[in-house]
């Protein structure tokens, strides 16, 4: 659970699964996360084998993130959590 625990990791994984694979796109999609926290979360997810980071040799350098096979295996769980959250919102409104 430590690999995906906390406030932001599930949201970062979900955003990357939706092709928000650049740092700036992730910052726009998750405006409440600080720059440092996003950097930390991305590094931890990469170290845990959930994300793959690719650096392109361009000027300026471009970095993209993608889910690894292990990261993709989390998507059914995340999708179920999303469905539950949407149903819970509907029941409470």
| 25-74: pLDDT as tens digits | 999 999 999 999 999 999 999 999 999 999 999 998 899 999 999 999 99
On whether residue 1 sits in a domain, the answer given is no
Q: Say yes or no to pLDDT of 6 above 70.
A: yes
**How does DSSP assign 24-84, residue by residue?**
HHHHHH-TTS-HHHHHHHHHHHHHTTSEEEEEE--SS-EEEEEE-HHHHTTHHHHHHHHHH
Give the domain extent around 17: 9-91
On whether residue 22 sits in a domain, the answer given is yes
| pLDDT value of position 4 | 84
pTM of the shown model: 0.89
On whether residue 27 sits in a domain, the answer given is yes
């Amino acid at each position: 659970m430590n690999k995906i625990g906390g406030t932001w990791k599930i949201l970062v994984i979900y955003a990357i699964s939706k092709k928000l694979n650049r740092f700036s796109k992730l910052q726009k999609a998750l405006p409440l996360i600080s720059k440092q926290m996003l950097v930390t979360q991305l590094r931890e997810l990469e170290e845990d084998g959930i994300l793959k980071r690719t650096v392109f040799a361009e000027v300026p350098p471009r970095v993209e993130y993608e889910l690894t096979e292990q990261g993709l295996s989390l998507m059914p769980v995340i999708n179920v959590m999303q469905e539950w959250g949407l149903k819970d919102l509907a029941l409470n409104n």
